Amino acid sequence: MRTLRAMRSRIRAAKNIQQITRAMKLVSAARLRRAQDRVLAARPYAQRMDEIMRELGHAGDLPDHPLLQRREVRHVGFVIITSDRGLCGAYNMNLIRALQTAIREQNLTQEQVCLVCVGKRGYQFFAKRGYTIALYRPMPTAGAGLEDARAVTSAISELFQTEQVDRVYLVYAHFVNPVTQRPTVQQVLPIEPPVGDEDGTREFIFEPPAEELLERLLPRYLLTQVLQALLEASASEHGARMTAMSMASDNAGKMIQELTLVMNRLRQAAITKEIAEVVGGAEALKG
C-alpha cells in the first residue's frame, strides 16, 4: 500500500507539471504570434535600408564618417542578446557558445573583449567570468522595442567613436520558424555597405549630397540593424520556449502513462495476493 501511495503521489506531481508546461506553452504561443508579426513587419524596412546603403556604396567612394572608420583591431565589442528567463531549451547556451566561438576564432583575450548584454542570462554568465560589460539591459517580456535599440546603439557608437573598441558584432538568434532559431554573429561597426550585383544596379541621383545624406543615414542604418536583431531575438526566444514547453508536456504525458501502468500492475498484484490469502485461509479451514 505504501508503494501504491508513493506511485499516486508521483502521478499527481507529473500531472501538476504537465498543467504548468501546457499553460506556459499557450502563453509563449500567444507572445510568439505578436513577436512574429513585429519581426516580419520590420524586415522590409531593414531590407530597404540595405538596398539604399548598397546603392550609396556603388555610387563611388564613401566620404569619411566616424562610423565608417577602419583601424587596426585591438579591442572588439560584442552585443549579445539572450533572454531574462529560462525554460527555453538550449536557446541561451547556443548564443553563449556562438560568442565564445567568435572570440576564439579571432584569437582575442578576455581583456580585448567588451560586452553589451541584453538579457539576464548572458549577463550573468559573462559577468561571473570577469568580462568587461559596458552596458546591461534586461530583455522585456513583451519584447525589446525602439528605446532598447536606441540605448544599445548609443552605447556601441560611443565605444567605437572613442576607440574603446575597434569593431562591434551583434550576437543574436535569427528567427526562421517557431522550432528553428539560427545563432548569428553579425558585424555592425565599422559599417560596411552590403555587397550586391553591380550589373543590376539602378543609377540614383542623391539629394542632398552624399556627405549630408550619410550623416543622417548611417546612425539610422545602425539603429535599424540593432532593432531588427532585438526583434528577431524576441521571436526566437518565444519560439524556443513554446517548443521546449511542448516537449515537456509530451514527456510528462508519457511519464503519467508509464506510472499509471506500473500503479495498475502493483494494484493487480496486491489484489491477487489478497485473493490468494483468502483462498489459502479457506482451504486451511476446510482441512
Instruction: Specify the pairing of strand 180-189 against strand 167-177.
Output: antiparallel
Residue 117 known to be catalytic: no
217: amino acid identity, one letter = L
DSSP state of 176: E
Q: State the distance between the two ends of the chain, measured CA to CA, in whole angstroms.
A: 31
Active-site residue, selected from the candidate residues 39, 88, 226, 231: 88
Evaluate whether 78 touches 169 at the Cβ level (below 8 Å). yes
Instruction: Specify the pairing of strand 76-81 against strand 167-177.
Output: parallel
DSSP 99-168: HHHHHHHTT--GGGEEEEEESHHHHHHHHHTT-EEEEEE---TT---HHHHHHHHHHHHHHHHTTS-SEE
Neighbour tally for 176: CB within 10 Å: 13
Tell me the Ramachandran region of residue 143: left when phi exceeds 0, alpha when psi lies from -120 to 50, beta otherwise: left
Residues with a known catalytic role:
88
